[in-house]
Amino acid sequence: MKIKINTILQYLCIYIMLLIPGSCFFSLYIKGNSKYYIVFLFYVFLIIYKKKYRKQYILTFLGVLLAIVAFQRILSSGVGLLAWLQFATCLLSVHCAFASDTYNFIDRTVKLISVFAFISLLFWGLFSIFPLIAKIWPATSYLTQTTGTVGFENIWHGKGLFLYSYLELHSTRNCGIYTEPGVYQIVLNAALFMLLFWREKIRFKKNKYYSFCLTIIILSIISCQSTTGYIGMVLIFTFYYLQIGTQDRIDKKTRKYLFTLILFSIVLILIEYSLNGTNSILYKQVIEKLFGDFSNTLFDITNGSGRYRLGTIIVSITSIIQHPLGVGYDTFNKLRIMYGQGLVAASLLSFAAIYGIFSWLIVIIYVLYPVFKKERRLVAILFLLIFVNTTLAQTHLFYPGLMIIPIYLAETKNDVLGKMKRGTRL
């Protein structure tokens, strides 16, 4: 009974981890900042209740972040305890999910993500082929976003929270349970990373189940239609094949199957492009966002949402040069408004602008050190590139899906890793 309760607890922690941040449920039904207080207190209870939740890496990391927030509070008064609470909740969601059962964490996380990916593909495919079904779907409808000028605005709604969320604003894109496909792709690419590079930590009874999960995850990333997601997926594929010939043995069947799957996906995308032209996934999410229209021959990231991210990058770099110790949230938000309306994302650089370049360096070291210490150099470089790609495109610095990798490596002892590779149950 004790093992069963612990299994349920871990699945609950993993699900909460997937909900934070960016899920429709947390964004819409736990209003304001109350979600951070609720989840944080839940994790504090776990840490007090069981010794296994008190890991040195996470507690030290949270202490460092608290010191950074306190220092910036004294320096600029532009930050508060809530900022630290948001960081802590994201990091603790991974930590507690892992600590509840270290041996089964990766296995259960990847399989749970795969189940949700399969569900999302079914709903996305059904609603894409038969859009009227989405309108009569008997799920609770909720307001998601209002766009346009006052008096002429468009009001967008969504349906579904816990298994799949259909959003009118992204009606042709797979958002999973999240408010936008850009957040969903982080979770999916994390699962793809673990399937390809940490396969020994995932226990499948038959190889066909592994192949099925791999297929579902890749198709889900494609259905998200996120440029950032495509870049992350291409990086993972590239580094997976680059490691061929190293001292680590790579399964030949997986390599061949993955190549076939990639080739099949490319053919599907090209067929869809030939049918839909400028309305196709390839044109909308890759060509138009990177090159603008066909008259451009160079990269142009100012198209679509790229212009808002570029604006944040410019403001952040300017602020870092002028104020290397940071300016706090209030001043930074004013600088963004002065530059232009709607600037978002680029959390990798905005963190440095808000908290200072030295604090930023400390945080980056904490994130990257366990990866470069315990992983192969190619895999560590891959994580670095994925981290940069994700945080330049998104609002938060600590996405749980991404932070699984450094937290798992930091909190897993070498002997545990060795036993897991040999398939020995702890």
Instruction: Report pTM.
Output: 0.87
Query: Is a pLDDT exceeding 50 seen at residue 255?
Result: yes
Q: Which range is most confident: 28-32, 149-153, 233-237, 293-297?
A: 233-237
Of the pLDDT bands very low, low, confident and very high (cuts 50, 70, 90), residue 120 is very high
Structure tokens given for 270: 């090209």
154-159 and 166-167 strand pairing: antiparallel
Give me the mean pLDDT over the 320-341 stretch: 86
Instruction: State the Cα–Cα distance between residues 37 and 85, nearest whole angstrom.
Output: 8
Single-letter amino acid, residue 217:
I
CA gap 15, 36 in Å, rounded = 15
What pLDDT sits at residue 142? Answer: 82
Q: Report the pLDDT value the prediction gives residue 56, as an integer from 0 to 100.
A: 85
Task: Round to whole Å and give the CA distance between 292 and 283.
Answer: 9
Beta bridge partners of 145: 156
- Residue whose tokens read 């910036």: 72
pLDDT tens-place string over residues 21-67: 788 888 776 666 777 888 888 898 888 888 888 888 999 999 999 99
Say if residues 20 and 89 touch (Cβ distance below 8 Å).
Answer: yes
Contact 251, 233 (CB under 8 A): no
CB 235 within 8 A of CB 389: yes
Cα Rg, the chain, nearest whole Å: 22
Average pLDDT in the chain:
84
Angle, alpha carbons 109-113-117 (nearest 5°): 170
**β pairing state of 154-159 and 141-147:** antiparallel
- What's the whole-number mean pLDDT along residues 257-265? 83
Instruction: Check pLDDT > 90 for residue 98.
Output: yes
Reply yes or no on whether the pLDDT at 423 is more than 50: no
Per-residue confidence (pLDDT) for residue 415, from 0 to 100: 38
Average of per-residue pLDDT across 314-342: 86
What is the distance in angstroms between the CA of the first residue and the CA of the last residue of the chain?
18
User: What's the pLDDT at 113?
Assistant: 96
Residue pair 311/340 in contact by the 8 Å Cβ criterion:
yes
What pLDDT score does 112 carry? 96
pLDDT at 414: 52
Over the stretch 211-228, which tens digit does the pLDDT of each residue have? 999 999 999 999 998 989
Task: Identify the residue with better confidence: 261 or 64.
Answer: 64
pLDDT tens per residue across span 354-391: 999 999 999 999 999 999 999 999 999 999 999 999 99
Domain boundaries, the chain: 2-250+352-421
pLDDT of residue 270: 82
Alpha-carbon span 388 to 232, nearest angstrom: 10
The residue ranking higher by pLDDT, 240 or 28, is: 240
Only one residue has tokens 């991404």, namely 402
User: What percentage of residues in the chain have a pLDDT greater than 90?
Assistant: 42
